[in-house]
Amino acid sequence: DQQVKQNSPSLSVQEGRISILNCDYTNSMFDYFLWYKKYPAEGPTFLISISSIKDKNEDGRFTVFLNKSAKHLSLHIVPSQPGDSAVYFCAASDLAGGSQGNLIFGKGTKLSVKP
Amino acid sequence: GAGVSQSPSNKVTEKGKDVELRCDPISGHTALYWYRQRLGQGLEFLIYFQGNSAPDKSGLPSDRFSAERTGESVSTLTIQRTQQEDSAVYLCASSYYRGNEQFFGPGTRLTVL
């Protein structure tokens, strides 16, 4: 039973427009959320995170929004660039509950940004 | 500085053989994680090491899987009597401490024929 769900396996966006990647979770104990980006044949690289005490975190072109009541988070990339084309993984952790920090990942969304 | 490294990058083996995968974490990182990604799936947690504490083995799928880590250095993941369903990319990650952002290695692609 998946605790972290990324329901869109792929997304295609025009360069310069906004990319919105969505993620839903079922475990209300999750208190720390991360987005990772993965290029082919490479390991995932950390992009941005958000703690459950916040509802927004921004870093340059990347903003993550968290809606705890809906158990939903989203990653906004604006403006999108062709180099953003990659697979994006949403991940969650239950740190306050004593988890060891191991992350529960979604299946990923493949973003293609077209020039 | 050096990131997380893993070896081999690719491993093809026959069903029933044992394989050993290696991970070199970032120096100074006390936490080390193993994950695997099977085709079309997300990353699946396998095992976690934190310093000299007992590892969290809760994600290991069967007793054919084991892992070791000496102190805060290299870790090896061993799969005994490999099965075709073990075919996956095995990823290692390290972090300064639990809860910090994890830095991933490039992975080892294991193919069991």
Tens-digit pLDDT profile for residues A40-96: 888 899 999 999 999 999 999 999 999 999 999 999 999 999 999 999 999 998 876
Chain B CB within 8 Å of residue A107 CB: yes
Q: A8 to chain B, minimum CA–CA distance in Å?
A: 13
Gap between the Cα atoms of B75 and B34, Å rounded:
9
Check residue A97 and give its pLDDT: 57
Token pair of B77 as six digits: 């993941």
Select from B39, B37, B11, B19 the least CA-distant residue to B93. Answer: B37
Placement of tokens 């590892």 in the chain: B55
End-to-end CA distance of chain A: 38
Gap between the Cα atoms of B92 and B76, Å rounded:
10
Measured at the CA of B58, the angle between CA A34 and CA B48, to 5 degrees, comes to: 55
Gap between the Cα atoms of B44 and B33, Å rounded:
11
Chain B CB within 8 Å of residue A43 CB: yes
Pick among A4, A23, A102, A109 to test the B interface (most B CBs inside 10 A): A102
Number of Cβ pairs closer than 8 Å across A and B?
65
Cα A28 to Cα A31, A70, A109, B60: the distances in Å are 8, 10, 22, 24
Q: What is the average pLDDT value for chain A, to the nearest integer? A: 92
Select from A49, A23, A17 the least CA-distant residue to A109. Answer: A23
Range B15-52 burial, b when 16+ CB lie within 10 A, else e: eeeebebebbbbeebbbbbbbbbeeeebbbbbbbbbee
Check residue B61 and give its pLDDT: 93
Q: What is the average pLDDT value for chain B, to the nearest integer? A: 91
Q: Which of B40, B98, B107 sits opposite A101 (nearest CB)?
A: B98
Partners of residue B100 in chain A, C-beta under 8 Å: 101
- pLDDT band (50, 70, 90) for residue A101: low
Token pair of B84 as six digits: 């075709």
- pLDDT band (50, 70, 90) for residue B52: confident
Chain B CB within 8 Å of residue A108 CB: yes
List the single range of A13-27, A77-91, B52-66 with lowest mean pLDDT. Answer: B52-66
- pLDDT band (50, 70, 90) for residue B47: very high
Partners of residue A107 in chain B, C-beta under 8 Å: 40-42
Range A15-46 burial, b when 16+ CB lie within 10 A, else e: eeeebbbbbbbeeeebbbbbbbbbeeeebbeb
Average pLDDT, stretch A17-44? 93
Pseudo-torsion of CA A22, A110, A108, B25, nearest 10°? -120
Look at phi and psi of residue A83 and say left if phi exceeds 0, alpha if psi is from -120 to 50, else beta. Answer: alpha
Select from A44, A41, A69, A43 the least CA-distant residue to A55. Answer: A69
CB contact under 8 A, A43 and B104: yes
Helix, strand, or coil here: A69?
coil
